[in-house]
């Protein structure tokens, strides 16, 4: 199984709503990533989890709250978002043994959740 799954596929929410995005992988990968992608732009890294611990936060506003309940699951909790947060949110994973392991660490991407904030 070389698949990263994300749910929901589409999400529309108001600025006062609380919602969550979910990402799952069963490849035994120990690093998981959240990216934000605006239209016609490359993905921008938001968070990295390594061995279920947050290792990188790219100065993301606190209205985005990541969570890694176990090595296969990654959530992104959303609260009080702004319309400019509308984007495609991508999850990725790799076998991410920082400083060790294979000479490259391919990231496997999920299909994304397309988020619209009204």
Partner 1 sequence: GDSVTQMEGPVTLSEEAFLTINCTYTATGYPSLFWYVQYPGEGLQLLLKATKADDKGSNKGFEATYRKETTSFHLEKGSVQVSDSAVYFCALMIKAAGNKLTFGGGTRVLVKP
Contact residues for partner 1, defined by CB under 8 A: 4, 6, 31, 40-43, 45, 48, 55-56, 90, 92, 94, 96, 98-99, 103-112
CB nearer to partner 1: pick between 91 and 117 = 91
CB of 98 to partner 1, least distance (A): 6
CB of 80 to partner 1, least distance (A): 26
Rounded to whole angstroms, how far apart are CA atoms 26 and 28?
A: 6
CB nearer to partner 1: pick between 16 and 40 = 40
CB nearer to partner 1: pick between 7 and 106 = 106
CB of 73 to partner 1, least distance (A): 18
CB of 88 to partner 1, least distance (A): 8
**C-alpha angle 41-17-93 in degrees, rounded to nearest 5:** 45
- Rg over CA atoms, the chain: 14
CB nearer to partner 1: pick between 38 and 77 = 38
**Cα distances (Å, whole numbers) of residue 109 to 50, 93, 94:** 16, 7, 9
- 37 HSE (CA, 13 A, CB side): 19
Report the helix count and the strand count for the chain, using DSSP H and E: 0, 11
């Amino acid at each position: 199984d070389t698949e990263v799954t994300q749910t929901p596929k589409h999400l529309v929410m108001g600025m006062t709503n609380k919602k969550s995005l979910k990402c799952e992988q069963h490849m035994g990968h120990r690093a998981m990533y959240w990216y934000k992608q605006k239209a016609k732009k490359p993905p921008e890294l938001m968070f990295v989890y390594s061995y279920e611990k947050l290792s990188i936060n790219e100065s993301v506003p606190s209205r985005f709250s990541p969570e890694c309940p176990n090595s296969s699951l990654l959530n992104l909790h959303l609260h009080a978002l702004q319309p400019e947060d509308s984007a495609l949110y991508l999850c990725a994973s790799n076998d991410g043994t920082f400083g060790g392991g294979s000479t490259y660490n391919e990231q496997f991407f999920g299909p994304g959740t397309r988020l619209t904030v009204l």
